[in-house]
Chains A and B, each alone.
Chain A
């Protein structure tokens, strides 16, 4: 009797060993995010959004029955770490695809590594150079910075502003933004009369504000960065008694910066995804349902306000999950599947990819916003 039982058991084990992988495959997805360090306000919400979404997907039984295993690596915004993590994820963990890195600088360092290893990369970095020129395996979810620049310049044209000062942080995001600002200015008849770049660790910029304030031609200031200086520049400007319009980049879409800048944040104009004003969108807007759901889930789970950055992580995993649904656990098929995704609503906009467009968003993904009474509201002009 005993013998039969053990034989039976053996048989069961053998059968289950053969069958198991066929119906319950685990799909490994890597993520390189700046969970700590100077860009942690990007990587933190991104990592939490990813964890939340993967939990949600797995609770529903995974993608086509396959569970997703998420491996998050904290790069602390260091390009060197991003490179070694990328190699580790591709070669040792053999992940299907990589989400991240959080910053544009890191993404550019691993773009070629992923391309050569034929591993899809869905970056959360904003700079346009990530997908222009297109690398067949590299995608990104944040809106292109050139669209943000155009949106700002269009607003300036409306307001009759033609001479501006540009401030930028010395990060990948800041440098790329500065490049776009200078390149696109002539198209809109705008002249950049002052340009300054500050260190990402700067904690007081009153001296440089005094310098550009002394140039009486300046009608408006654009401060392009993702670092805490986004809250410092407005404070220093208002303290100096200077009240020209201040424009910031889509990097300002985090209510913590508004809190840090306090009263000085009032009236800052910036382009951003619609997550920040989800509640006030019309009910038939394609993003409304998902934005309010994401915001509600994120805020109740993590007890902190949702930011557009967390949204980039949300979009990345949403797109990847959709592609896995088509292509399964195969890098090449998933890559092709992403290129063929159309009309996928995300937090950053409605994504429609193609072989030429690896961002999938158009200029309408941005909405001009401003700060009123410590809250983000849609900017309607003066």
Chain B
């Protein structure tokens, strides 16, 4: 394999990986505060991209993206308030079924609003054929936007959870909900906030990846499966684990095309998911004790 080809695979892998990682982080935030997997996470990504594309007719792109992220955050809040908040001590299984329902409804709403056609945001810099040379390999400039946006989100989230009081309250809620309530933390608001945050993250991801992958009303499902795989692989609840696992899976997928036919690319990620679930259910970077304590 030449260096050029190696770099080309690597860059493709990092692109896939960053996208998977962001979706996985969205899973993790909600998992941490509620103990459930929000299967509508992929739909947040779709809403972000689609809303930004619609807004683009009326305003410049940076504004459209910011507004799309805000609107999606509002959708996230609405979903929590309408479907989750009023449930009294719901079981994990019931919550999961609800999120699956939300995901299906979101897709139906999207197909009625935007129709079934594929759309995309324009490239932030350059156009469809412009590319940047990296050690002889050529990659689209948008790839760097995806990587930068993912890195930025991870750093900002880290700061938010470690240093702000709201962030600390959310973490308290994550480690022990009952104790957090006893300390005077409004855990219900924390759950809403976690939906808002992960909706915002998903929406931003949906915007930066749209020029590369296109946006379509049913793009969420595929992303959710990959994001879920990565979240499990990295250890549920761990943001650092999600980034590492995302990159690992993305790079594995990219390099796999040189050995096995392309059609097996998805089979590889599903196989990894199954192996991890059998062999190391707490994930590569999760601790066994933490996994033992969680409800799911």
Interface size on B, residues (CB 8 A): 43
Q: Chain A nearest CB: distance from B107 CB in Å?
A: 9
Kindly supply a per-residue 1/0 record for chain B positions 198-216, scoring 1 wherever the CB is within 8 Å of any chain A CB and 0 otherwise: 0000000000000011101
Of the residues A199, A207, A261, A263, contact of B9 by C-beta under 8 Å: A207
B263 close to A204 (CB less than 8 A): no
A208 to B263, CA, bound (A): 11
Q: Closest residue of chain B to A241, judged by CB?
A: B138
Most B C-beta atoms less than 10 A away, residue of A206, A207, A211, A239: A207
Contacts of B213 in A (CB 8 A): 203-204, 232
CB distance from B216 to the nearest CB of A (A): 7
Across the interface, do A206 and B11 meet the contact criterion of CB distance under 8 Å? Answer: yes
With beta carbons under 8 angstroms apart, the residue of B115, B131, B255, B262 that contacts A44 is B115
| Residues of B154-182 whose CB lies within 8 A of A | none
Query: Does B148 count as interface, using CB distance less than 8 angstroms?
Result: no
Interface string of A256-275 (1 = CB under 8 A from B): 11001111110000000000
- Other-chain contact of A210, B9, B15, B128, B131 (Cβ < 8 Å): B9
- A199, A206, A232: which contacts B15 (Cβ < 8 A)? A206
Query: In this complex, which of B5, B111, B138, B219 has the most chain A Cβ atoms within 10 angstroms of its Cβ?
Result: B138
A107 within 8 A of B: no
Inter-chain CA distance A273–B141, complex, in Å, is 36
The prevalent SS among residues of A at the interface is: helix
- With A198-B262, A204-B212: A260-B131 Cβ-Cβ less than 8 Å: no
Would B117 and A36 count as touching, CB distance under 8 A?
no
- With A203-B212, A260-B120, A263-B129 as contacts: A210 and B263 at CB distance below 8 Å: no
For chain A residues 247-261, which have a beta carbon within 8 Å of chain B?
256-257, 260-261
Min CB–CB distance B112 → chain A (angstroms) = 10
Which residues of chain B come closer than 8 Å to A211, judged between CB atoms?
5, 257-258
Q: How far is the CB of A200 from chain B (nearest CB, A)?
A: 10
Is residue B70 within 8 Å, beta carbon to beta carbon, of the partner chain?
no
Contact A199 B128 (CB under 8 A): no
* A40 proximal to B (CB < 8 A): yes
B81 at the A interface (CB under 8 A): no
What residues of B have a CB within 8 angstroms of the CB of A232 in the complex? 213-214
Q: Which residues of chain B from 82 to 115 have a CB within 8 Å of any chain A CB? A: 111, 115
In the complex, are the beta carbons of A262 and B261 less than 8 A apart?
A: no
Interface residues of A in 183-218 (CB under 8 A from B): 196-199, 201, 203-208, 210-211, 214
Tell which of A201, A204, A208, A240 touches B131, judged by Cβ atoms closer than 8 Å.
Answer: A240
Residues in B whose Cβ lies below 8 Å from that of A257: 118
Q: CB distance B262 to A208 under 8 Å?
A: yes
- Contact between B8 and A240, CB atoms less than 8 A apart: yes
> Residues of A contacting B8 with CB < 8 Å?
206-207, 210, 240
- Is A235 in the interface zone, CB < 8 Å from B? yes
Q: How far in angstroms is the closest Cβ of chain B from A258?
A: 11
Contacting B117 at CB < 8 Å: which of A41, A170, A198, A199? A41
Residues of B within 8 A of A170 (CB): 263
Contacts of B219 in A (CB 8 A): 203
Contact B117 A256 (CB under 8 A): yes
> Known: A36-B111, A231-B214. Is A197-B131 also a contact (CB below 8 A)?
no
Q: Provide the bound-state CA to CA distance between A228 and B212, in Å.
A: 12
Q: Smallest Cβ distance from A126 to chain B, in angstroms?
A: 19
Does B65 sit within 8 A of A, measured CB to CB? Answer: no
B119 within 8 A of A: yes
Contact A36 B116 (CB under 8 A): yes
| A196-B261, A198-B262, A206-B12 known; A262+B214 contact, CB < 8 A | no
In the complex where A36-B111, A228-B216, A263-B127 touch, is A210 in contact with B12 (Cβ < 8 A)? yes
**List of B residues within 8 angstroms of A179 by Cβ:** none
Chain B residues in 8 Å Cβ range of A262: 122, 127-129
Contacts of A197 on B, CB cut-off 8 Å?
Answer: 261-263
27 residue pairs A–B, Cβ–Cβ below 8 Å: A36-B116, A37-B218, A40-B116, A41-B117, A44-B115, A44-B117, A197-B263, A198-B262, A198-B263, A203-B213, A207-B8, A207-B9, A207-B253, A208-B257, A208-B262, A210-B12, A210-B137, A214-B5, A228-B214, A235-B129, A238-B129, A238-B131, A239-B128, A239-B129, A239-B131, A260-B119, A264-B129
Q: 8 closest pairs, A vs B, by CB?
A: A40-B116, A203-B213, A210-B8, A262-B128, A238-B129, A264-B128, A207-B12, A239-B131
10 new A-B contacts, CB < 8 A, other than A41-B117, A214-B5, are A44-B116, A197-B262, A203-B213, A206-B11, A206-B139, A207-B12, A207-B254, A210-B5, A231-B214, A262-B129
